[in-house]
Amino acid sequence: MGSCFYVGEGDFKGLQRSYKGKKFIVIVINVTMMSEEEISQVINYPNEERHLEFKGPVSWDGDIKAKITKSIMALANLKDGGWIVIGKAEQQNRIFEIVGLSDLEFQSFDPDEIKAFVYSHVEPPVKFEVLNREVRGKKLVSIKVDEFSEMPIICKRSYNTIIHAGQIYVRSKGKPESIPVPSDSEMREIIENCVDKEVCKFHKRLHRTGIWAPKEQAEEVNDEEEFNKQLEGLL
């Protein structure tokens, strides 16, 4: 979702509009920062989904580092990325409940150490954020993973039998798990996402150089009358 802000007036190049004799440049900002309420909804969701993985109480060491790295790669290769919540365990009714981490387990998830390990095993670098939370007295670690920016995330360094160099991991469409690309359907999904990103980047380049300009200069501002109404509320 985008937001429009008044910047000023003058002779602008790029996205611009004129209103009552004044020129405006429109900046569309994608708001991706999640509120505490949205983070809480992710943590309290009862089941795993394709974009959401839960792990029970563990420490950041040994094979767990590789398993979480595999999950990060798999989520990054999905459109819109996803989340890993550490400190939720599956119960007999197949519902995941918050069990929390011990102080030692919680402290082991140092964001700098996590990023150092992940970056040494993946290519290109994947963008993710480590969020430490306490919910109802239980300590949890949540990892928000962004989708890849240009090219799919590939494992560049093996670790035991858990991750393998040259492999592309993804969250399966069936049972929610992080696995090597299992079929042409998942691979086609990744390729189409890459193509969409390249086409978008190409259009932006053409527009920036002045070779081609879209009919609608700003996707979020495609109606002159509506745009003027928005400006009246800002001025």
What pLDDT, in 10s, does the model give residues 34-86? 678 888 899 999 999 999 999 999 999 999 999 999 999 999 999 999 999 99
Residue 142 contacts residue 109 (beta carbons within 8 Å): no
> How many domains are contained in the chain?
2
Based on the domain organization, do 143 and 92 belong to the same domain?
yes
Residue 25 lies in a domain: yes
Residue 10: predicted pLDDT = 36
CA distances from 178 to 70, 74, 110, 167 (A): 7, 6, 23, 12
Residue 212 lies in a domain: no
Residue 211 lies in a domain: no
User: Who's near 152: CB < 8 A, 6+ residues apart?
Assistant: 77, 168, 190, 194
Based on the domain organization, do 162 and 57 belong to the same domain?
yes
Strands (E), 71-155: 82-86, 88-90, 96-98, 122-123, 128-135, 138-145, 154-155
Q: Count CB atoms within 10 A of the CB of residue 127.
A: 14
Residue 22 lies in a domain: yes
Based on the domain organization, do 25 and 132 belong to the same domain?
no
- Mean pLDDT rounded to a whole number for the chain: 82
Residue 176 lies in a domain: yes
Task: Read off the pTM.
Answer: 0.72
Q: Name residue, tokens 């990892």.
A: 143
Domain, as residue range, for 165: 36-193
